[in-house]
Amino acid sequence: MGDPDIRQDVLDGLEFEPSLNAAHIGVAVENGIVLLTGHVRTHDERLKAEQIVTSIKGVRGIAQDIEVRPVGANVTADDEIARRVLDVLKWNASVPADAVKVKVAKGWVTLSGAVEWNFQREAAEHSIRGIAGVVGISNAIEIATKLSPANLRLRIEQALKRRAELEMSDIRVEVSGGTVTLDGKVHSIGERRAAEQAVWAAPGVVDVRDRLSVV
């Protein structure tokens, strides 16, 4: 699929998403790499645009340059954003009580602290994306490592084998501490994301270095 076709598919995908104003989003494609520009009202909308692009066939990568510009009811003071974030985290059963700390500066939320699993780290971030006034999120929550590198590598290799969409892929796994490096070849950006997700689902993973090539 050529760049013009990919661009049209991306534009169509953005246009048919009711939560987005596609007229405010620019799309350029070069060698399968999609550049998104323009502006949206919330951080959640920014992520939605990115998700749409990753679902398009032929997309090899994304350069995300969309700006979040809160308007009207979405404009919120930092102290109010912080209060709302803490309230949301408090009621999220997937986030351990008092494990996450919050800092807000000009609408940008920084999460810190420590949890045992990556799903807890992700749950904290996902739960606050739709809060009014949030223009971006830095997730600095750390993950405690308990497994040995050998055991962690074994679990990851088993997880990759269980993913049907990765059956024909050539993926090699290296582990150093809690850092996992993926190397090899996959056939789409979707397979690349699936491999990353399989790694993050393993206990004790603190970082993933994706060196996979899409061929």
Residue 133: band (very low, low, confident or very high) from pLDDT cuts 50, 70, 90: confident
What distance lies between CA 192 and its chain's CA centroid? Answer: 13
pLDDT at 71: 75
**Among all chains, which residue has been given the structure tokens 């404009």?**
75
Q: What is the pLDDT of residues 93-132, one digit of tens each?
A: 999 988 999 999 988 999 999 888 888 999 999 999 888 8
Class for domain 73-143, per CATH?
Answer: alpha beta
pLDDT at 34: 92
Crossing angle of helices 189-200/149-162, nearest 10°?
140
Average pLDDT of the segment spanning 178-183: 88
Burial 1-39 (b: 16+ CB within 10 A, else e): eeeeebbebbeebbeeeeebebebbebebeebebbbebe
Is 2.30.110.10 the CATH number for 149-214?
no
CA atoms within 13 A on the CB side of 196: 13
| pTM for the model | 0.60
Residue, of 117 and 183, whose pLDDT is higher: 183
Average pLDDT of the segment spanning 175-196: 86
Average pLDDT of the segment spanning 161-186: 82
Q: What is the pLDDT of residues 8-65, one digit of tens each?
A: 999 999 999 888 888 899 999 999 899 999 998 888 888 899 989 988 888 888 898 8
Q: Do the domains spanning 3-68 and 73-143 agree at the CATH topology level?
A: yes
Is 3.40.50.1000 the CATH number for 3-68?
no
The end-to-end CA distance of the chain, in Å, is 13
Q: What is the mean pLDDT of the chain?
A: 87
Domain coordinates of the chain in residue numbers?
A: 3-68, 73-143, 149-214
